[in-house]
Amino acid sequence: MVIAKCGVGKVCAAVCAQTMIFHFGADTLINSGVAGALDTSLSIGDIVIATSLVQHDVDTSPLGDPVGYISELKKIEMPTSSALVDLAEKVAQKQNVRYHKGVIASGDCFVAAPETKQTIRQRFGAKACEMEGGAMAQVCQMNDVPFVVLRAISDTADDRASMDYPTFVAIAAEKMAKLVKEVLKEM
Ligand code: ADE
């Protein structure tokens, strides 16, 4: 098992994912961390298990594509491994934590405005937003490697986000670490 702190943003996540695959021969990738809630049913501290990833900031719509369309893959949504989703769900149930399954939207920006949050939620039906998962997902798809993204909610991606994030990031990260450690044990 190889563990890395990939850094913030899609480029860091892509570099890390490709390094894991090429250099370390990883046959499965898990990305974990914190996320902003897009869906109002999510609260700070809840876990989100991604069933698929999108990149909300990819936009070739002037050429006639839908926003989020990844030309190299010819699609918008990148599905995660159902086996890894099932395993994460089993662990979340065992740990008695509140969890949700759904789409996670990634982009190179910290979402902290109600309008941006609503646009991303409506456009992609996404439950949460973060800045790395979608990039790792694309690398995994391009290399045919199964993956999952697991996140704990640190803020609500609106005008409270810049205050809530520093307050709750450590608590959310700790909850996430506890879950991911158990997932790794069970693999
Ligand atoms: N990671 C945690 N909170 C986030 C937010 N509001 N936007 C993007 N990435 C995040």
Closest residue to atom 1 of ligand 1, CA basis: 35
What is the pLDDT, as a whole number, of residue 37? 98
What is the pLDDT, as a whole number, of residue 92? 98
Residue 166: pLDDT band with limits 50, 70, 90 = very high
The average pLDDT across 30-59 equals 97
Q: What are phi and psi of 130, to 5 degrees?
A: -155, -165
**From the CA of 144, how far away is ligand 1's center (Å)?**
27
The average pLDDT across 37-61 equals 97
What is the pLDDT, as a whole number, of residue 82? 98
What is the pLDDT, as a whole number, of residue 145? 98
Residues 64-115: pLDDT tens digits? Answer: 999 999 999 999 999 999 999 999 999 999 999 999 999 999 999 999 999 9
Residue 49: pLDDT band with limits 50, 70, 90 = very high
Q: Report the chain's mean pLDDT, rounded to a whole number.
A: 97
Identify the structural domains of the chain with CATH numbers, from first to last: 30-186 (3.40.50.1580)
Using a 6 Å CB cutoff, which residues line ligand 1?
Answer: 34-36, 110-112, 129-131, 154-155, 157, 161, 165
**From the CA of 121, how far away is ligand 1's center (Å)?**
13
Residues 115-140: pLDDT tens digits? Answer: 999 999 999 999 999 999 999 999 99
Cβ contact 150:183 at 8 Å: yes
What is the pLDDT, as a whole number, of residue 111? 98
Choose one of 106, 129, 156 to mutate for the ligand 1 pocket test, by most ligand atoms within 8 angstroms of C-beta: 129
Show contacts of 94-97: CB within 8 Å, 24+ apart.
94/182, 95/178, 95/179, 95/182, 97/46, 97/47, 97/175, 97/179
Cβ contact 131:111 at 8 Å: no
